[in-house]
Structure 1
Amino acid sequence: MAVKAENRSGRGRRWRQVVWSAAAALMLLPLLAMQVTAEVVWDGADFAIFGAMLIVAGGVCELATRISASGAYRAAVGIAVAAAVALIWTNLAVGLIGAEDDPANLLYGGVLGVGIIGAFIARFRPNGMAHAFLATALVQAVVAAVAVAAGMGYPSSPPLEILGVNALFAVLWLASALLFRRAAREQTFA
């Protein structure tokens, strides 16, 4: 796909500045938290993993800026990337099902896999991306239903907690899908 002239405009530059500024601010949060509480204890590996995640996330947002000048498309990518980073980091830090070392948390690899593979199958086109992230939301809900039905993570993760947290992620994936759908409509009428 060719880079559109609009993407090099001020709007694209602002988008990139916001993304990279947010990544830098997020990287500083644990460092600041370590100064005020003993609850946050990060080592070099934690910072390296989080930094790598933020670089990949920022790179994906950069790619979105180059692919489309649509605000809806960029917002959809931003929400999907934020949801993916939050899903990965939450699983690494505390786990969504039971503790962080509970093997049930590996199910979320399937959620991310559906989104990533779906994006490539869609060739990053908005209509296909809408379908990919609708499927991602569905898989997120299925993981929650399976976890609750199988009693996974109990008693450290009660069923309502598992359902609530997964519902939040499913809503984020759905919001991304709806914004991709809107971007597809804009593209149709443009």
Structure 2
Amino acid sequence: MMAHPRAHQFLRFSLPPAQDAHAAHAKSCQDQDYVHTGGKQMTGSSERAGASRAYGGGLAVALLASFLTVWTTLVRDDGTGMSFFLLIMAAVVGGFSAWFRAAGMARTMLGVAVMQALLGIAIATAPSTATMPGGVFKALLFGIFTALWLMSAILFRAAAKADRMAAPRP
């Protein structure tokens, strides 16, 4: 089947040139980059950069807490290691279930911090811990790890807030 000889001319005149389409797309992207916040205009890219730094900080603190948890568990080797590895597993599973988005990661890290605190209380108040030397030091160590998970949650929350501020409003 042959196309009509004038079909090519019709398509050429009815479709916009590539340069005009590119310019229209660039203009629409530029319009979407501006976010109105509190009476002043800010570029969305600066908000996204702040979110990126907060997200990276939250991720770095979570990875630091995970690394230190593994390291102290291997060094200590007192029989409570499985529960600490489950804390890290909860953080990983929570991250995957939240698709590693900032708001979901903030909730995940808050949950892991609560788990860390409850685990610390359970181990510190166990009868077997009372007879071990350095029980008070272990309780302090649990508090430090809980603070690390909470710091990660706060940074992820800041990233989620910056993402909401940078999102284009309908």
TM-score over 0.5 (shorter chain): yes
1:54 corresponds to which residue?
none
**Change in 2 beyond 3 A, CA 1:161/1:182:** same
Instruction: State the distance in 2 between where 1:133 and 1:70 align.
Output: 17
Instruction: Say which structure is richer in strand.
Output: 2
Task: Show the 5 A alignment for 1:7-86.
Answer: 70-86=52-68
Q: Percent identity?
A: 30
Match of 2:156 in 1: 180
Task: Tell me: higher relative CO, structure 1 or 2? Use CA pairs within 8 A at least 6 residues apart.
Answer: 2
1:128 to 99, 104, 125: 104
> Does 2:90 align with 1:114?
yes
Q: For residue 145 of structure 1, what is the aligned residue in structure 2?
A: 121
* 1:103 alignment partner in structure 2: 79
Shift of 1:157: 4.4
TM-score, length basis structure 1: 0.58
- Report the Cα distance in structure 2 between the residues aligned to 1:88 and 1:154, rounded to whole angstroms: 24
Unmatched 5+ stretches in structure 1: 1-67
TM superposition score normalised by structure 2: 0.64
Runs (4+) of structure 1 exceeding 4 A deviation are none
Displacement of 1:154 in angstroms is 4.3
Q: Compared with structure 1, are the counterparts of its residues 178 and 189 closer, same or farther at alpha carbon in structure 2 (3 Å cutoff)?
A: same
Structure 2 residue runs of 5 or longer lacking an equivalent are: 1-49
Q: Larger C-alpha radius of gyration, 1 or 2?
A: 2
